[in-house]
Amino acid sequence: MWLEDYKYKQMAYTINKTDGSVIATITDGTVDNTTSVQLFGKSFSGFGEGLNENLVKLLENAAGTSAPTAPLKGELWFDASTGQLKVYDGSNFKPTGGAKSQSAEPTSASAGDLWHDSDDDQLYVYTGSAFQLVGPVFTEGQTLSGWKIETLASSGGNKVVSSMYAGNTRVAILSKEDFTPSVSQTGFSAIKAGFTLNSTLGAVFEGTNTSAAFVSTTGTANTSSTLIAGGNFLRADAADTTTGALTIDTDSGIIIGDSQELTVTVSSNDVTIAQTSQDKDLKFTVNDGGSTKTPLTLTGADGGVDIVGDVTITGNFNVSGAYNFTSSEIVEHSDSFLKMNTGGSEADAGLIVETSDNDDARLFYDVSENLWVAGENQTYSALLRLSDLTDDGDANKGTKPLTTDSSTGDLKVTTLTLAAVGSAITTSNTGLTTVPTIGQVATYGFQWGGSLKTVSTSDPSGGSDGDFWFKYEA
């Protein structure tokens, strides 16, 4: 009996962990210190103190500035230096999680740990590498700033909106529908579907905008050289005015008219102004003393140019086609000379007067003869020049017209036949230089010294002293 009891008393304790593995074998009367707590063998004297200490350690989770030296996986330790409860993961003690409220960012954090920044009153979560802000997005000193989901009452029921705040002031409201709040909202008498700005702040969108449904044209005061009031934009749906230059920076140019009748385009730096409607005119009008006049018309039906009124040309006037003057008025030319055939090879040139003949009357310069000629019906004679005349008609019979000698005034002819029959010479005037006609010469002998003289085959009857007479044989 004694032997059996002794054998029983000498049996060692085998201590197993939760997973069944043996952590220690403790013989009777001994203490095992391989863990953070004392493990007692059977019949160990004074085990009560150690047992109580073990219970205290469990209560305080081994609180201290140093980690337990022989921890087991899952063991808790309160780190007195950081004020954190940590758990042993098999290799290191790590914080057990939960929010840490302090001003400084916690150290040795584990993924999922929360930290309440006591200075800014903001909550952070540890991602495994850094603390990420959860919210709010503003600090305590900044006051309410950013988005806030709110419910606003209206006659059509409560509306859920997103309000944007800056420094505890609501700057804008984002809504999915139009409504009017039934409770007054400062700066928001009515809320539109989309983004509504606080009217009391004079809030505006600033920056680059790629699209806008409407632009307010109520103002024209620009806030800067780059921020232009809506009233300064040209309208496409109504008549408008600009005080600046209008540049169309495309060769496609300008198109005007409900049927796009007038276009101004550019091609290879050449500008084309076109009336595109078939057989329609392009007219240029002016205000003459309150009356509208059309001095220039480009006619579409025949491609001609109609000009009404005086035309003043400074520079050369070149015409390649015919020049037609339909008015019966005299054409006036104020210049001293009218030049023809300019720049061309030598050719006959001059004036043509239209007649009923096959070939009109002409006055032109004959370049082959180097002289002016005139005539009609293709028969032309040279115009006389001084060099073409002669005072010696005897030597230049039938070749040159006559003129008197430039020094004596004489005129020489071979014979002179006077066909006219004039009245008899009735006076003896030696100073008379008029050439007598044939009749006067024939009757000259009848008037001499105041007596009538007879030229006949018979003697005269009567007479006075000094008379003479001519008698010829029958």
Instruction: Indicate whether 53 and 114 sit together in one domain.
Output: no
Does the pLDDT at position 427 exceed 80? no
Structural domain count of the chain: 4
Within a domain: 343: no
The most confident of the ranges 27-36, 74-83, 191-200, 310-319 is: 191-200
Of 49, 27, 28, the closest CA to residue 38 belongs to 49
Instruction: Indicate whether 112 and 188 sit together in one domain.
Output: yes
Name the region of 228 (left: φ>0; alpha: ψ -120 to 50; beta: rest): beta
Does the pLDDT at position 260 exceed 50? yes
CA angle (27, 33, 39) in 5-degree steps = 55
Pair of tokens at residue 116: 């309440």
Instruction: Indicate whether 106 and 45 sit together in one domain.
Output: no
pTM score: 0.39
Within a domain: 439: yes
Beta bridge partners of 392: 412
**For the segment 287-339, what is each residue's pLDDT rounded down to a tens digit?**
999 999 999 999 999 999 999 988 888 988 777 887 777 766 777 777 788 88
pLDDT computed for residue 409 by the predictor? 77
Within a domain: 51: yes
What confidence tier does 437 reach under pLDDT thresholds 50, 70, 90?
low
Distance between CA atoms of 432 and 447, rounded to whole angstroms?
A: 15
Helix (H, G, I), strand (E, B) or coil at 387: helix
Give the pLDDT mean for 114-129: 89
DSSP string across 89-100: -SS-EEE--SEE
Instruction: Indicate whether 191 and 256 sit together in one domain.
Output: no
Mean pLDDT of the chain: 83
**For the segment 147-186, what is each residue's pLDDT rounded down to a tens digit?**
999 999 999 999 999 999 999 999 999 999 999 999 999 9
Domain's final residue, options 311, 327, 345 = 311
Lowest mean pLDDT among 87-101, 229-243, 322-336, 443-457: 443-457
Instruction: Indicate whether 54 and 109 sit together in one domain.
Output: no
Of 86, 95, 98, the closest CA to residue 125 belongs to 98
Domain's final residue, options 201, 223, 238 = 201
Give the pLDDT mean for 363-392: 86
Within a domain: 270: yes
Within a domain: 337: no
Within a domain: 283: yes
Pair of tokens at residue 28: 């009777």
Question: Under a CB-based contact definition with an 8 Å cutoff, are residues 151 and 160 in contact?
Answer: yes
Within a domain: 211: no
Question: Under a CB-based contact definition with an 8 Å cutoff, are residues 113 and 103 in contact?
Answer: no
Distance between CA atoms of 247 and 254, rounded to whole angstroms?
A: 10
pLDDT computed for residue 299 by the predictor? 95
**For the segment 14-70, what is each residue's pLDDT rounded down to a tens digit?**
888 888 888 889 898 899 888 889 888 888 888 888 888 888 888 888 889 999 988
Does the pLDDT at position 421 exceed 80? no
Within a domain: 56: yes
What confidence tier does 378 reach under pLDDT thresholds 50, 70, 90?
confident
Exposed, middle or buried by CB within 10 Å (0-12, 13-18, 19+), for 62? buried
Show the domain range for 454.
Answer: 417-474
User: How many CB atoms sit inside 10 A of residue 199's CB?
Assistant: 12
